Amino acid sequence: MGARGAPSRRRLAGRRLRYLPTGSFPFLLLLLLLCIQLGGGQKKKENLLAEKVEQLMEWSSRRSIFRMNGDKFRKFIKAPPRNYSMIVMFTALQPQRQCSVCRQANEEYQILANSWRYSSAFCNKLFFSMVDYDEGTDVFQQLNMNSAPTFMHFPPKGRPKRADTFDLQRIGFAAEQLAKWIADRTDVHIRVFRPPNYSGTIALALLVSLVGGLLYLRRNNLEFIYNKTGWAMVSLCIVFAMTSGQMWNHIRGPPYAHKNPHNGQVSYIHGSSQAQFVAESHIILVLNAAITMGMVLLNEAATSKGDVGKRRIICLVGLGLVVFFFSFLLSIFRSKYHGYPYSFLIK
């Protein structure tokens, strides 16, 4: 039985081999080589990603914001693989560019990056970098970018969307606003830690000392405290500061003005009703003060009992101040609220 069974098994194996297609061996070999190549390519991507992350972590250990030129930008931000988010500030900090807004935004950006770098939640999922126009002109051209400063988020996968560009003109560039935007785009929450600023405390101490010294010197005659004109001036200064948007500036931290990088034209009035420049609030303050002065002169001309000619001159000056500066104020309002139909003297 054993002798007769062995040839039968050999004949069966021969039949099985004859049933295999003759072209299947090259196909199996090709499939094996393809699997090996895919596995090697995946391993290569993992090694490249590990090298990029290691390099970024090394840079972050030395500086919370690292500068990039065109080559570094294309390697670490544009080219895959990438499993980290990158916040990039496009700016122009060289003195010849005369971009004061860029310097102010850079200070806030530095505060934000330091808050992330030295927090307990710091990890390799988020990095902060900077591209200066004079060091990466090709990057600005590649992104069709014509203004600075600009903040962009480059996600781990895919291209940046519209929301990945920070709306600086509407929100301002305060570190807290940037942190909120980053949390919306990356789910990384950064608690902003600002360095201590004692200028406000020192100013308050000097003011208290000045007032205390004045009261001490005039301790035998404190009738000036009951001076209505003095308190009226103080009240008006507070009203002018609040109605001109100084509190909004303090909260949002907008730039002082905007300089067009193409023609060098400086804009002191923001074109949107949702934002303003610091210079704009100063202009509004002066206009409100001029209108108020005109109203005071009109009231003085109507209530005083002096010479009629003098009262007439005061009345005309007051009326001129109210008419001209109110027209100027209304024209600024029309330029910000597009479509507003009314104007007066100045369009």
Q: Is 165 exposed, middle or buried (0-12, 13-18, 19+ CB in 10 A)?
A: middle
| CA dist 218 → 11, 206, 213, 224, 229 (Å) | 127, 18, 9, 9, 18
Residue 296 has pLDDT above 80, yes or no: yes
User: Which of 63, 120, 253 is CA-nearest to residue 175?
Assistant: 253
Residue 278 has pLDDT above 50, yes or no: yes
pLDDT score of 275: 77
Residue 129 has pLDDT above 90, yes or no: yes
Question: Which amino acid is residue 13, in one-letter code?
Answer: A
Grade residue 317 by pLDDT with cuts at 50, 70 and 90.
very high
Is the overall model pTM greater than 0.75, yes or no? Answer: no
Best mean pLDDT range from 31-35, 90-94, 145-149: 90-94
Residue 11 has pLDDT above 80, yes or no: no
Average pLDDT for 56-71? 90
Average pLDDT for 326-339? 85
Residue 254 has pLDDT above 50, yes or no: yes
pLDDT score of 34: 63
What mean pLDDT value characterizes the chain? 82
Dihedral sign of CA atoms 112, 116, 118, 119 in order: positive
pLDDT score of 3: 46
- Asked if the 42-186 domain carries CATH number 3.40.30.10, the reply is yes
Average pLDDT for 84-104? 87
